[in-house]
């Protein structure tokens, strides 16, 4: 990557689009790996990019970072065209591929020194903080590292130059639960300083935990984009209402948003989609003694989006 003076990217204010694609398409022969992707990623957000295997996620990411050229359509990162301004795009992003390729004969220190030199130098304190955060031994040969430690090294190299945009493809694969938590804390720190994360992951719980917005692709096409807050409003929640007298099963079953309802003695167990306000309004006159509600789990919502429901 070039070490020339960094350009002045556009689209960096709050709410501005840091990544924007218009009709982004990639064919491999007669196969459309990505078909007319229209995507807008706002500044200062963690954007989850989801979909089943073979959906086109990695193809989209490789297009965004300039490793592939689109068959048609356009994409911009911080206002920079991914084809025309490819070298400038490399200066403003940090990238962790899903299949990180590293020279196994190098030590971790040699690897990071080399990449830092390509970038024209980095702040050594930033690198040291990341190495400490992920408990890495940089003097160990990469070939002798576990898969998890190589993944941590990949995260450090993507973040050590404080990029404006982090593009991460399955970043937590191989990390133990403690390191996964450290990684999610890192993403929150990135967002807090106003930078942007484009996160592709199969770990739906971590996307739910840290993302602000999500997009779902299937068979190369975008099938949904929404905010996590909107998803929570649509999510299904399990709730149990216990009554002093007979349970009003039929009255509750007919409330808008109730997907399932069953009665056991004085308790009605329900699955509710969206707001519970109307359900509680209908239930109140019957004398509710106890309300038990599960936490909203977005996994079911994600899977229904995967399946096109």
17 compared with 298, residue with greater pLDDT = 17
**Domain end call among 227, 256, 276:** 227
Claim to verify: residue 199 and residue 295 sit in the same structural domain: no
> Which pLDDT score is estimated for 99?
87
| Same domain for 254 and 141 | no
Confidence (pLDDT) at 15: 54
The mean pLDDT of 80-89, rounded to a whole number, is 94
Instruction: Inform me whether the pLDDT recorded for 1 exceeds 50.
Output: no
Same domain for 245 and 223, yes or no, is no
Predicted pLDDT of residue 296:
66
Q: Which residues contact 51 (CB under 8 A, 6 or more apart)?
A: 57, 216, 217, 218, 306
Compute the mean pLDDT over every residue in the chain, rounded to the nearest whole number.
90
In a domain, 5, yes or no: no
Residues 211 and 125 in one domain: yes
User: Are 209 and 156 found together in one domain?
Assistant: yes
Q: Is residue 9 part of a domain?
A: no
- What is the pLDDT, as a whole number, of residue 110? 97
Label residue 154 left, alpha or beta by phi (over 0 means left) and psi (-120 to 50 means alpha).
alpha
pTM: 0.80
In a domain, 8, yes or no: no
The share of the chain scoring above pLDDT 70, in percent, equals: 94
Q: How many domains does the chain have?
A: 2
Q: Model confidence over 41-55: pLDDT tens digits?
A: 999 999 999 988 888
Spatial contact of 83 and 123, defined as CB atoms under 8 Å apart: no
Domain assignment present for residue 218? The answer is yes
Q: Are residues 194 and 295 in the same domain?
A: no
More confident residue, 279 or 203: 279
6 within a domain of the structure (yes/no): no
Nearest to 11 by CA among 75, 58, 67, 71: 75
Q: How many CA atoms lie within 13 A of 55 on its CB side?
A: 23
Query: What pLDDT score does 206 carry?
Result: 85
Cβ atoms within 10 Å of 267's Cβ, excluding its own: 15
On whether residue 266 sits in a domain, the answer given is yes
Residue 129 in domain = yes
pLDDT at site 2: 37
Mean pLDDT of 279-307: 83
Last-in-domain residue among 161, 192, 227: 227
List CB contacts of 111: < 8 A, sequence separation 6 or more.
Answer: 102, 103, 142, 153, 157
Residues 189 and 242 in one domain: no
Helix 177-192 with 147-159: angle, nearest 10 deg? 10
Query: Angle at the Cα of 212 (from 304 to 277), degrees rounded to 5?
Result: 65
Q: Do the domain assignments include residue 2? A: no
Residues 84, 163: one domain? yes
CATH of the domain at 245: 3.30.70.100
Q: Is the pLDDT of residue 11 over 70?
A: no
Domain end among 192, 207, 227? 227
Mean pLDDT of the region 106-130: 95
| Confidence check: pLDDT of 163 > 90 | yes
Q: In which domain, by residue range, is 302 found?
A: 235-306
Same-domain check for residues 250 and 106: no
């Amino acid at each position: 990557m070039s070490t020339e003076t960094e350009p002045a990217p556009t689209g960096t204010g709050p709410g501005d689009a840091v990544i924007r694609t218009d009709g982004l398409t990639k064919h491999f022969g007669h196969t459309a790996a990505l078909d007319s992707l229209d995507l807008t990623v706002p500044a200062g957000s963690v954007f989850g990019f989801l979909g089943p295997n073979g959906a086109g996620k990695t193809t989209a990411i490789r297009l965004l970072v300039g490793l592939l050229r689109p068959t048609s359509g356009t994409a911009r990162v911080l206002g920079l065209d991914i084809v025309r301004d490819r070298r400038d795009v490399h200066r403003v992003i940090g990238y962790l591929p899903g299949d990180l390729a590293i020279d196994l004969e190098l030590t971790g220190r040699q690897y990071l020194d080399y990449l830092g030199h390509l970038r024209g130098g980095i702040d050594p304190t930033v690198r040291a903080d990341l190495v400490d955060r992920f408990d890495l031994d940089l003097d160990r040969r990469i070939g002798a590292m576990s898969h998890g430690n190589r993944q941590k090294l990949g995260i450090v190299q993507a973040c050590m130059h404080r990029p404006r945009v982090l593009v991460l493809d399955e970043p937590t694969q191989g990390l133990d639960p403690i390191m996964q938590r450290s990684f999610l804390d890192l993403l929150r720190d990135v967002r807090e300083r106003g930078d942007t994360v484009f996160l592709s992951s199969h770990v739906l719980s971590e996307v739910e935990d840290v993302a602000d917005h999500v997009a779902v692709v299937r068979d190369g096409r975008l099938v949904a984009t929404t905010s996590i807050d909107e998803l929570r409003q649509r999510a299904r929640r399990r709730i149990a209402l216990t009554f002093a007298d007979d349970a009003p099963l039929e009255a509750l079953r007919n409330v808008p948003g109730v997907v399932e309802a069953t009665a056991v003695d004085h308790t009605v167990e329900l699955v509710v989609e969206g707001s519970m306000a109307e359900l509680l309004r209908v239930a109140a006159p019957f004398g509710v003694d106890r309300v038990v509600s599960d936490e909203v789990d977005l996994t079911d919502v994600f899977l229904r989006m995967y399946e096109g429901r």
